[in-house]
Structures are given as C-alpha cells and as structure tokens.
Amino acid sequence: MNDQMRYYKPFISPLDPCPPIRVKSYSTPPQLFIPFQPPNLPQFTPYEALKYGTLWPALYSPYPYGHKYVRQEEGDA
C-alpha cells in the first residue's frame, strides 16, 4: 500500500516561462506488481471494502498520495 508514487526530474530550461516544476510524479498502483492474485489474501470488512473500492487491502491504491510535484520555490535547496 505504501509508496505507490514514482518521481522524476524533468529538464529545466532557463527560457521556460512558468515557474519550473522540479520534481514530477506518477502513480504505480498494485496491479502492476501482482501478475496473478494469490488466494486467501486478507480482506476488508464489507463496509470497508465498499469504502475503499476493493475487498483486498493489498489491492488498495490511495489517491492523491504524497506530493504530486515540487515547484522551484518550494523545493529549492
């Protein structure tokens, strides 16, 4: 469930007109890492399952998750 985001640093040109986003992100949810669901995975209760949109915690993907991106003024170190 944790760390389903991946990050990358796009090239920044001095001629870019908008304040640059230094770090961008994208989602890598659980289905990318489970080629075939194994049997007997732990389950949510029915109410939880409806709330999370799946019966199995291992397949749950929170969104939004972490920072979507870091702009120059926030992330400049």
Q: How far is the CB of 32 from other proteins (least distance, A)?
A: 9
On the question of a cis peptide bond just before residue 46, with omega within 30 degrees of 0, the verdict is no
35 binding other proteins? (CB under 8 A)? yes
Contacts for 4-8: CB closer than 8 Å, 24+ residues apart: 4/28, 4/29, 4/30, 4/61, 4/62, 4/65, 5/65, 5/66
59 binding other proteins? (CB under 8 A)? yes
Which of 47, 73, 76, 77 touches other proteins by CB under 8 A? 47
**Residues in contact with other proteins by the rule CB under 8 A:** 27, 29-31, 34-40, 46-47, 49-56, 59-61, 63-64, 68
